[in-house]
Structure 1
Amino acid sequence: MSTPAQQAARRLRIVAGLVRGRAYNPLPYVTEDLSALFMDAATAVETCTVDPGGTVPQAALNSLQAALDMITQHDFHIPAAIAEYAIAPMTGYLPEMEPLGAACPLCVRQAAYFQARRAALIEAGYLDSGEDEVLRAALQGVLVLHYRYGHLTAPAAENDNRPCDCRTSPADVTTC
Structure 2
Amino acid sequence: MKKNLLLTIFCLVFMSMIGCSSEKTVEENKTKEEQQVQSKIENKAKYDIDKIIVPVQTEWTNDLKVYRDFNIAVIKEMAQSNNIPVELREFPTFDDVIIALKRGDVDVVPGIDNLVETDLTKTYTYFTGAIYLPNGEEFVPKKSYAMAVRKKDTELLKFFNDMILKFKETGKLEKIQQEYLGDRN
Structure richer in helix, relative to its length: 1
Q: Which has the larger radius of gyration?
A: 2
TM (normalized to structure 1)? 0.26
Structure richer in strand, relative to its length: 2
